[in-house]
Every structure is written in structure tokens, then in C-alpha cells.
Amino acid sequence: MSEEKNEKAQGRKRRTRRDNRLKRWFREMRAELKKVVWPTPKQTVNNTLIALGLMVTMAIVVWAIDQVAGQIFQAIRQLGQFWG
């Protein structure tokens, strides 16, 4: 009987410690989020437009490189047919 009480008490202690750690984690997370300097809506729009512009630019660069490489490989293949 006393063993059952001991086991229950230990289980409660474990749960309490775990609950306390979880509460402390949320409390610390909230404190850290208060320190964050959030961007203004204008900055968010500006940063989004910059990112989209860079993505479009990089897509065009990759497309151009692909086109040039395709032309080079096609020329090499035609040379191979000419000599072969």
C-alpha cells in the first residue's frame, strides 16, 4: 500500500516538474518574442518585392544558361554526325 502511494507521489512530482519546465519554456519564449523588432508593413512589402525580383532575375539567368548549353551540345552533336 505504501509502495502505491510512493509511486503515485513520484508520478505527480515528474508531471509537476515537466509542467513547470513547459510553463517556463513558454514564459521564456514569450519574453524573447517581445524583444523581436518586427518589420513595418512597408518594409515587408519592400523585402517581398526584392525577393520576387531576385527570383525572376535568377530564373532568367538559369534559362539563358540552359539555352546556351543546349545550343553548344546541339552543335557538338552535329559535329559528331559530320565526322561520324
Q: What is the domain partition of the chain in residue ranges?
A: 1-36, 39-84
pLDDT tens sequence for the chain (84 residues): 566 666 666 666 667 777 889 999 999 999 999 999 999 999 999 999 999 999 999 999 999 999 999 999 999 999 888 776
Q: Looking at residue 19, what is its pLDDT?
A: 83
* pLDDT score, position 25: 93
Distance CA 46, CA 15 (A): 47
d(CA 32, CA 37): 11
Residues 6+ apart with CB under 8 A from 47: 39
Distance CA 81, CA 84 (A): 5
pLDDT at 1: 55
Q: Give me the torsion for CA of 46, 48, 53, 54, rounded to 10°.
A: 110
